[in-house]
């Protein structure tokens, strides 16, 4: 009985992104399937892959791989060598990870032939350092008129950590409709109008990247209110929101993304921006106060019971601040520690407790 195998092959970015090893795997397979719903892929790219490999591809849909659990492919792979071709690198999409795990559970051998991915290529295209990127997110077309706030929130939390953000853009395969940079920025501005945290203001530095891996790729950075009207041409597109820049990254944006020097030298902060180091200093300062503070006892203005209740409230705010910080909600964390400090300072002014803040003599 012939042993089957499922081989995941990424065909990278652009028209010639597949590796020699990937091309060899396609040529040697019994059957070749291709999915393009995870990323916009022009039809001519697939036809070129068929010509250079000498193989005909069978399309698989999101329904086949997600709702049906990849049954069609897995059943074939029990006795045949099956290749699943994917845009970019195979495992930037969680669907493919689930399919591989299911194959392994069935005892089907799996193999991976990686390729270039937008996740790494986008950073390199504009000269940003890949290890300084935070969580990525996808800007989706409105669903029933509702705009997802996930990309806005991911960018917010990354900026609080001084990190860059890669924003991918939605693709509706059944409509053959790929979101453009312009559409993505307009949706982010809509969320800004609701959230009003100053993340996607008109002067926010953003970088638009179009057709990475193609000969006619385009990379252009600038203010949001400028790029929202820039013509980036045909998709696929994506967006990068830079965080704090190393001096080499700043020079790269100027040279590789045509960003004005004045923009990279004055990246705007936003109303919700909080330095993590500063927040940690406030939290540590309150921690030290709780450790060293002396209770002076009740007074005519406040009984010992009310004093203990006030101290309990202060400790609760301190605990809330730490909890919010762990969740990434730095704004709420700062507010909570400020309330805690306010209660403690009020008790000190009433001469109910005695302590010194950090730096006091």
pLDDT of 1 above 60: no
138 C-beta neighbours (distance < 10 Å), count = 17
In the chain, where are the structural domains located?
5-116, 119-265, 276-354
User: What are the helix (H) ranges across the chain?
Assistant: 20-28, 43-53, 62, 71-77, 94-105, 118-126, 150-160, 181-195, 224-227, 247-256, 261-265, 276-292, 304-327, 330-349
Between CA 196 and CA 214 the distance in angstroms is 37
Query: pLDDT tier at 304 (50, 70, 90 boundaries)?
Result: confident
In the chain, count H helices and then E strands. 14, 14
The neighbouring-strand residues paired with 209 are: 219, 238
Assigned CATH class of 119-265: alpha beta
How high is the pLDDT of residue 268?
Answer: 66
Q: Per the omega criterion (within 30 degrees of 0), is the bond before 170 cis?
A: no
- 276-354, what's its fold? Substrate Binding Domain Of Dnak; Chain:A; Domain 2 (1.20.1270)
Write the DSSP assignment of 119-134 as a string of letters: HHHHHHHHT--GGGB-
Q: Which residues of 329-354 are buried (b: 16+ CB within 10 A; e: fewer)?
A: bbbebbebbebbbebbeebbeeebbe
Between CA 238 and CA 118 the distance in angstroms is 8
How high is the pLDDT of residue 205?
Answer: 95
pLDDT of 67 above 80: no
pLDDT tens for each residue of 174-215: 888 999 999 999 999 999 998 887 899 999 999 999 999 999
The neighbouring-strand residues paired with 138 are: 168
Task: Tell me the mean pLDDT in the region 301-318.
Answer: 91
Which DSSP symbol is given to 299?
-
Q: Which CATH superfamily is domain 5-116 in?
A: Tetrapyrrole methylase, N-terminal domain (3.40.1010.10)
**Torsion angle of the four alpha carbons 121, 185, 66, 4, in this order, in degrees rounded to the nearest 10:** -10
């Amino acid at each position: 009985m012939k042993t089957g195998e499922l081989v995941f092959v990424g065909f990278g970015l652009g028209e010639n992104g597949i590796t020699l090893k990937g091309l060899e795997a396609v040529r040697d397979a019994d059957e070749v399937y291709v999915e393009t719903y995870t990323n916009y892929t022009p039809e001519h790219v697939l036809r070129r892959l068929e010509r250079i490999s000498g193989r005909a591809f069978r399309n698989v849909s999101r329904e086949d791989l997600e709702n049906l659990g990849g049954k069609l492919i897995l059943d074939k792979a029990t006795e045949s060598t099956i290749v699943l071709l994917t845009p970019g690198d195979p495992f930037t999409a969680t669907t493919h990870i689930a399919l591989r795990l299911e194959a392994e559970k069935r005892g089907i051998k799996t193999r991976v032939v990686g390729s270039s991915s937008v996740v790494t290529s986008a950073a390199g295209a504009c000269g940003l350092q890949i290890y300084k990127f935070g969580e990525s997110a996808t800007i989706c077309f409105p669903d029933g008129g509702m705009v997802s706030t996930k990309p806005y929130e991911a960018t917010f939390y990354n900026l609080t950590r001084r990190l860059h953000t890669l924003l991918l853009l939605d693709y509706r395969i059944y409509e053959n409709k790929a979101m453009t940079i312009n559409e993505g920025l307009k949706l982010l501005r809509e969320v800004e109008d609701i959230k009003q945290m100053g993340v996607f203001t008109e002067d926010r530095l953003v970088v638009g990247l179009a057709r990475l891996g193609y000969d006619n790729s385009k990379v252009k950075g600038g203010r949001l209110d400028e790029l929202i009207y820039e013509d980036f041409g045909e998709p696929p597109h994506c967006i990068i929101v830079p965080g704090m820049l190393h001096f080499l990254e700043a020079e790269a944006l100027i040279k590789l993304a045509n960003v004005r020097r004045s923009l990279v030298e004055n990246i705007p902060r936003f109303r919700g921006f909080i330095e993590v180091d500063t927040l940690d200093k406030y939290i540590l300062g309150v921690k030290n106060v709780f450790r060293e503070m002396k209770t002076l006892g009740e007074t005519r203005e406040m009984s010992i019971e009310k004093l203990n209740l006030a101290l309990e409230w202060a400790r609760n705010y301190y605990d809330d601040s730490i909890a919010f910080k762990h969740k990434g909600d730095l704004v709420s964390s700062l507010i909570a520690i400020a309330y805690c400090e306010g209660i403690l300072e009020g008790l000190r002014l009433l001469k109910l407790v005695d302590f010194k803040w950090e730096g006091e003599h």
